Amino acid sequence: MGPHILATLSDKGWAILSIRDLRIGHYLFAYPVADITMTISRRYWPLLFPLTYLVHVAEEYFGGFPNWASHFLRFNLTTATFLELNLIAWIFMLGASLLAVRYASLAWLTIAFATATLINGCAHTIGSAITTSYSPGLISGLFLWVPLATVTLYRDRRQISPRLFWAGVGLGIMLHVTVTLIAFLG
C-alpha cells in the first residue's frame, strides 16, 4: 500500500500535513497560517511564488534532480534541459505574478501557481516515500510550497468567484502536467 497524505486547515489557523506510509511510519507537519497571511498583503502575495521557485529549483539542481528523475522515474532529463525548462517556467511565473500584482482582475492566476506548487510539493513527498530516497526538491516542496499553496488556496477560495477559482485550479493542473510531460520526454 502506498503513502496516505492528508492536508487540512484547522479552525485555529494551522495548516496540517499528515503523511502515513507502512514502510516509513507516520509524520505530521503543522504550519501556522495566520502569522503568514497577516505579514504580506494580498496585493504582493503572488510574488512569493517566483521567489520560492528559485529556492526550489536551486534545491533540485544542487541535489541532482535530473539524475534522480532519470534513475527512479525513467525521465529522459538532462541537466541542460532541466535548467532550460525551469528558466522558461520561472520567467512565465514571474511575468504572470507581476501582472497579478498590477491588475487585480488577474489575481486568480495565483490559484494556478498554488495548485501547481501543491502538486509538486506532494509529488516530491510521495516520490521520496515510495523510493525511500531523497527526491531533490523535497525540503522546499514540503516546507515552502505546500504551506504557501495551502494558505493561498484557503484564502483565495472565498475571495474570488467559484468559476475563477476552479479555472485557476484547472490551469494549475494543466501547467504541472505539461511540465512533467516535457521533463519526461526530455
Query: For each of the chain's 186 residues, which pLDDT tens digit applies?
Result: 455 555 555 555 555 555 555 555 555 555 555 544 445 567 788 999 999 999 999 999 999 999 999 999 888 889 999 999 999 999 999 999 999 999 988 988 999 999 999 999 999 999 999 999 999 999 999 999 999 999 999 988 888 899 999 999 999 999 999 988 888 887
- For cell 505539461, what's the residue? 178
In this structure, is residue 100 part of a structural domain? Answer: yes
Would you call 18 exposed, middle or buried from its count of C-beta atoms within 10 A (0-12, 13-18, 19+)? middle
3 state SS for 99-133: HHHHCHHHCCHHHHHHHHHHHHHHHHHHHHHHHCC
In this structure, is residue 29 part of a structural domain? Answer: no
Q: Which domain holds residue 55?
A: 41-185
* pTM given for the model: 0.77
In this structure, is residue 108 part of a structural domain? Answer: yes
In this structure, is residue 6 part of a structural domain? Answer: no
In this structure, is residue 15 part of a structural domain? Answer: no
In this structure, is residue 30 part of a structural domain? Answer: no
Task: Tell me the helix, strand and coil percentages in the chain, rounded to 5.
Answer: 70, 10, 20
Give the pLDDT of residue 6.
56
Question: Coil, strand, or helix at residue 157?
Answer: coil
The number of residues in the chain equals 186
What is the C-alpha to C-alpha distance for residues 87 and 111, in angstroms, rounded to an integer? Answer: 21
Question: Coil, strand, or helix at residue 12?
Answer: coil
What is the C-alpha to C-alpha distance for residues 153 and 176, in angstroms, rounded to an integer? Answer: 16
* CA nearest to 125, candidates 22, 21, 9, 11: 21
Give the pLDDT of residue 43.
76
In this structure, is residue 62 part of a structural domain? Answer: yes
HSE of 3 in the Cβ direction (CA atoms, 13 Å)? Answer: 22
Give the pLDDT of residue 164.
92
CB 145 within 8 A of CB 13: no
In this structure, is residue 153 part of a structural domain? Answer: yes
Would you call 120 exposed, middle or buried from its count of C-beta atoms within 10 A (0-12, 13-18, 19+)? buried
CB 134 within 8 A of CB 168: no
What is the count of structural domains for the chain? 1
